Amino acid sequence: MTSLAGSSILVVGATGGLGSAIARILADEGALLTLHGRSEEKMHALAVPGTFVYSDLLDAGSGNGLVAAALDAHGRLDGVINAAGVVAFGPAADMSDESMDILFAVNALGPMRLLRAARPALLKSAAAKRDPFFLTLSGIVSESPTANMAAYSASKAALAAFGQAAGRELRRDGIRLIDARPGHTETGLATRPIAGAAPRMPAGFDPADVARRIVDAIVAGERDLPSGAFSPQHAA
Ligand SMILES: NC(=O)c1ccc[n+]([C@@H]2O[C@H](COP(=O)([O-])OP(=O)(O)OC[C@H]3O[C@@H](n4cnc5c(N)ncnc54)[C@H](OP(=O)(O)O)[C@@H]3O)[C@@H](O)[C@H]2O)c1
């Protein structure tokens, strides 16, 4: 892929800190966007051009609707960015059933179901030599599971393992799976946990820098973005 101009890309979690930063760059580069969120108000405030689609990823059928929206809007699908996610803090033994269910539903099962829904359209994109991709953001915790974030780390490690294995399968089909594993990034995610409270953390990366690195990797044909791919000079 040498350019994103004219590529049909679905951004899941486009109202978030990383999703919105990625969507802005993609729009500037001429991609045709389908932007997912939960809130119309937040989506309109972004002012990023695209087709808007709303769903709660706790709904297991959500992925089918997102792919259908992208196909309705642009007639094809060349890439998917999974930038939705939730975090929780606190001792592993204190995590509630509800929080564990939400972490796994949004962070792991959502992207897994979405890949299944998107595969037929991505196969068509591969046949048309459009270099389709499916990008996940498991984050550094999938490499280095973190105390007081055990359930979050586990949900992200599940996502990373799924991506590695599915990526081997889909490589034969010409579909690129990319897992991005940046460290702490200043999106405000840590201030919106579904449980617990974040410890004090050192300053994280600038979301615009992380988004730029991710989009550059897509264009350059990279297949993996480990934590080391996000250099310290990106830290705020
Ligand atoms: N920030 C970091 O330090 C960091 C580091 C590595 C990886 N990551 C991962 O990168 C991804 C994006 O993180 P971020 O920092 O940009 O977080 P964020 O700003 O909180 O954005 C999260 C996005 O997920 C959406 N979302 C959450 N729960 C949802 C649900 N049940 N149904 C539908 N959408 C839902 C949010 O929608 P609303 O706008 O409606 O809330 C928002 O669009 C996450 O998977 C995160 O784990 C983050």
Cβ 175 vs Cβ 120: under 8 Å: no
The domain defined by 8-234 folds into Rossmann fold (3.40.50)
pLDDT for 205 = 97
Q: What is the pLDDT of residues 161-210, one digit of tens each?
A: 999 999 999 999 999 999 999 999 999 999 999 999 999 999 999 999 99
- The answer to whether the CB of 40 is under 6 A from ligand 1 is no
Residue nearest to atom 17 of ligand 1 (CA): 189
- The answer to whether the CB of 85 is under 6 A from ligand 1 is yes
pLDDT for 232 = 66
How many angstroms is it from 211 CA to the middle of ligand 1?
13
Cβ 187 vs Cβ 16: under 8 Å: yes
pLDDT for 235 = 44
The answer, yes or no, to whether residue 40 has pLDDT greater than 90, is yes
Helices of type H across the chain:
17-28, 40-46, 62-74, 97-103, 110-127, 150-171, 207-220
Q: What is the pLDDT of residues 2-14, one digit of tens each?
A: 789 999 999 999 9
Atom of ligand 1 nearest to the CA of 186: 1
Q: What is the pLDDT of residues 12-22, one digit of tens each?
A: 999 999 999 99
CA distance 135 to 223: 9
Q: Which residues lie below 8 Å from residue 111, measured CB to CB, with a gap of 6+?
A: 12, 82, 136, 159, 162, 163
Q: What is the pLDDT of residues 75-91, one digit of tens each?
A: 999 999 999 999 999 99
First-to-last C-alpha distance (Å) of the chain:
30
User: Token digits for 31?
Assistant: 């991609």
* Mean pLDDT of all residues belonging to the chain: 96
- The answer to whether the CB of 44 is under 6 A from ligand 1 is no
Average pLDDT over every residue of 132-151:
98
How many angstroms is it from 233 CA to the middle of ligand 1?
23
Closest CA to 8 of 28, 32, 26, 27: 32
How many angstroms is it from 103 CA to the middle of ligand 1?
11
User: Token digits for 67?
Assistant: 């792919």
Cβ 149 vs Cβ 196: under 8 Å: no
Half-sphere exposure of 229 (CA within 13 A, CB side): 21
The answer, yes or no, to whether residue 233 has pLDDT greater than 60, is no
At 231, the pLDDT band (50, 70, 90 cuts) reads: confident
Residue nearest to atom 12 of ligand 1 (CA): 83
Q: With H, G, I as helix, E, B as strand and everything else as coil, classify residue 96.
A: coil
* Rounded alpha-carbon distances, angstroms, from residue 126 to 89, 111, 120, 136, 187: 40, 20, 10, 19, 33
Atom of ligand 1 nearest to the CA of 156: 47
